Amino acid sequence: MPKIIFVEPKATEEHIFARFKLPRLGLLILGTMIKKRGWDVEVIIENLSPIRIDDLSRADIVGISAITNTVEKAYSLADRLRKKGVPAILGGPHVTFMPDEALEHADFVLRGEAEFPFMDFIDAWEGRRPFTDVPGLSYMKDGIKTHNRPPEKPTVLDDLPVIDLSVLKNGDSLKVLPVQTSRGCPFDCSFCSVTGMFGRKFRYRSTEHIMKELRTYRNMGKMIFFYDDHFAANKARAKELLREMIREGLNFKWSTQVRVEVARDRELLELMKRAGCHTLFIGFESVNPRSLVEMNKSQTIEDIKNAVSVIHSYGIHVHGMFVYGFENDTNEMVNQTVDFATALDITSAQFLILTPYPGTAFHHKVKESIITSAWSLYDTHHVVFSPKNFSMMKLQYSQIKSHRKFYSMKRMINLIRRKKWLALGIAFYARFINFLFVIQNIRYFLKIISHDRARAGAGSITIRQAMSELENNQASVSEHYEKECHAMK
């Protein structure tokens, strides 16, 4: 029986989501489909179990899934497999937009949504059709990088199988189970790669198809995370699904991502609550109306305030995400953002740095200002481009400072007083990660300080000089860093 091992490498840089035991769904779906074809399958998610190159070498082919901040690790695995003569195929939102780069490391790249194209690829692998017939495939043909045309139509979600979790190594350790009910997003925010990957047409599974999957998770004592980008983009279908979940008495708690518009429909929120909704993850993005327009977010500050107050009135938690670094953003805005988030009294918040992901309109816009293509830094926690109104270090520090300020000791004492244990636990974790992040990134901060100096024409120091300063005199560097940070307050 032919054997395939799929792997999802974990992030190498520390950030709040780097350790989450949550697999992306791509490999679980591909694994389920190919198991049905009689292959021996294993899916290894590095956040759940280690990836060992010797184990991978026992496969006939290895499938690697990567997003931008994990792609360096994916490339390094593919390089090592190539040396051992084991073919690898890469997929995911980074290589979809960077197939030429990926082919330097792997023999095959499957771009875009890949379930049915992957079955065609397996047909070709088994010699039953030529590789030229596999839509979305990039590969080397006679020494030339060749890119087949993308699939003509997006995947019909009801044609996908219900996930077989047994393909996942150490799957029992998952506390939160992933379920996707829809793909695509009708909006088109400039920094987001969802629409490039899955399109702007909102496609969804039928209620019965989703329920079939949810029933298998009944009574497992786990939470569900609906991996939709905008769970309520079609309210009628969301309500139909929620009513069915309530009718069948599915007793798990679940969370998902929505937009602020969700709060305009109280019936929807009522159904969400009754169906077990725990937390809504929402991209608030900015307190600067001009930035909201610049990023094409199609939402206002009033929408944000209204959404939080209405959602809270149903006893549902809110996780709010903010982004800094748009052309209209300023240093002053940073404090306003944290004050705004604090006043909203949301359970948790993230303050992220605008990141030019390949395949997005924003990447195209700031291409010339990008300072590094060290992809592991593309995790929305590191500044990787030179923004218009900030120095890079100021932008970097705004993210650190915002977390420090939002998850302050004062907030924690307040949460203890109000017995808000979940928010308190998150605050402890966030403070710890923020601290680790600073410690681990002093070298990177030096690098961006040096870029800033060069940009300002102010006696730039080379990275080498900055590094040797760091190595020779830790104290003076941290003092220097503290001073820089202080100046930005």
- Is 187 a residue that touches ligand SF4 (CB under 6 A)? yes
Least separation in angstroms between CB 24 and ligand B12:
4
196 binds, among ligand SF4, ligand B12, none (CB under 5 to 8 A by kind): none
Per CB under 6 A, the segment of 190-198, 200-208, 326-334, 441-449 that binds ligand B12 is: 190-198
29: tokens are 């779906």
Within 10 A of 95 (CB to CB), how many other CB atoms are there?
29
CB 187 → ligand SF4: shortest distance, Å?
4
Q: Give 429-435 contacts, CB < 8 A, sequence gap 24+.
A: 429/16, 430/16, 430/348, 430/403, 430/406, 431/403, 431/404, 431/407, 433/14, 433/15, 433/16, 434/400, 434/403, 434/404, 434/407
Burial 388-399 (b: 16+ CB within 10 A, else e): eebbbbbbbbbb
Which residue number, 34 or 275, has a Cβ lying nearer to ligand B12?
34
Q: What is the CA radius of gyration of the chain?
A: 23
CB of 27 to ligand SF4, least distance (A): 21
Q: Is 3 left (phi over 0), alpha (psi -120 to 50) or beta?
A: beta
Q: Which of 292, 277, 394 is nearest to 340 (CA)?
A: 292
Q: How far is the CB of 257 from ligand SF4 (least distance, A)?
A: 7
Rounded distance between C-alpha atoms, residue 467 and residue 443, angstroms? 7
Among 192, 263, 392, 438, the residue binding ligand SF4 under the rule CB under 6 A is: 192
**Region from 80-88, 180-188, 316-324, 447-455 binding ligand SF4, contact rule CB under 6 A:** 180-188
Give the span between the Cα atoms of 287 and 308, in whole angstroms. Answer: 14
Residues 34, 61, 74, 94: which binds ligand B12 (CB under 6 A)? 94
Q: Which is nearer to ligand B12, 291 or 450 (CB)?
A: 291
| Residue nearer to ligand SF4 on the CB measure, 123 or 261 | 261
Please report whether residue 229 would count as binding ligand B12 according to CB under 6 A: yes
22 near ligand B12, rule: CB under 6 A: yes
How does DSSP assign 333-397, residue by residue?
HHHHHHHHHHHHT-SEEEEEE----TTSHHHHHHGGGB----GGGTTTTS--B--SSS-HHHHHH
191: how many CB neighbours lie within 10 A of its CB?
23
Binding flags for ligand B12, 339-378, as an x/- string (CB under 6 A): -------------x----x---------------------
**Closest CB to ligand SF4 among residues 138, 181:** 181
Cβ distance to ligand B12 smaller for residue 258 or 470: 258
Q: Which of ligand B12, ligand SF4, none binds 283 (CB below 5-8 Å, type-dependent)?
A: ligand SF4
Contact predicate 477/470, CB 8 Å: yes
Tell me if 56 contacts ligand SF4 by CB under 6 A: no
Give CA–CA dist 88/75, Å, rounded: 10
Tell me the residue ranges of DSSP E strands in 199-342. 203-204, 223-226, 254-258, 277-285, 317-324
What are the tokens at 356? 């030019």
Number of chain residues interacting with ligand SF4 (CB under 6 A): 11
Q: Is 85 helix (H, G, I), strand (E, B) or coil?
A: coil
What angle (nearest 5°) sits at the alpha carbon of residue 197, between those of residues 195 and 202? 50
User: Could you identify the residue written with the tokens 């009944």?
Assistant: 218
Of these partners, ligand SF4, ligand B12, none, which one is at the site of residue 291 (CB under 5 to 8 Å by kind)? none
User: What is the signed CA dihedral for 379, 381, 186, 326, rounded to 10 degrees?
Assistant: -130
If one asks whether residue 110 binds ligand B12 (CB under 6 A), the answer comes out as yes
Residues 263-302, interacting with ligand SF4 (CB under 6 A): 283
**Contact between 348 and 376 (Cβ < 8 Å):** no
Phi/psi for 438 (5° steps) reads -65, -50
Closest to 13 (Cα-Cα) out of 76, 86, 73:
73
Residue 241 interacts with ligand B12 (CB under 6 A)? no
92 counts as binding ligand B12 under rule CB under 6 A: yes
Q: Contact at 8 Å (CB) between 342 and 397?
A: no
The CB-of-395 to ligand SF4 minimum distance in angstroms stands at: 20
Figure out which of the listed residues 48, 78, 118, 452 binds ligand B12, where binding follows CB under 6 A.
118
Q: How far is the CB of 143 from ligand B12 (least distance, A)?
A: 23
**Residue 195 interacting partner from ligand B12, ligand SF4, none (CB closer than 5 to 8 Å by kind):** ligand SF4
Residue nearer to ligand B12 on the CB measure, 254 or 481 = 254
Given 120, 164, 229, 379, the residue binding ligand SF4 (CB under 6 A): 229
362 binds ligand SF4 (CB under 6 A): no
Residue 320 binds to ligand B12 (criterion: CB under 6 A): no
Residue numbers at the binding site for ligand B12 (CB under 6 A): 11, 15, 17-18, 20, 22-27, 29-30, 63-65, 67-70, 89, 91-94, 110, 113-115, 118, 180, 192-194, 198, 227, 229, 352, 357, 379-380
Residue numbers at the binding site for ligand SF4 (CB under 6 A): 185, 187-189, 192, 194-195, 229-230, 259, 283
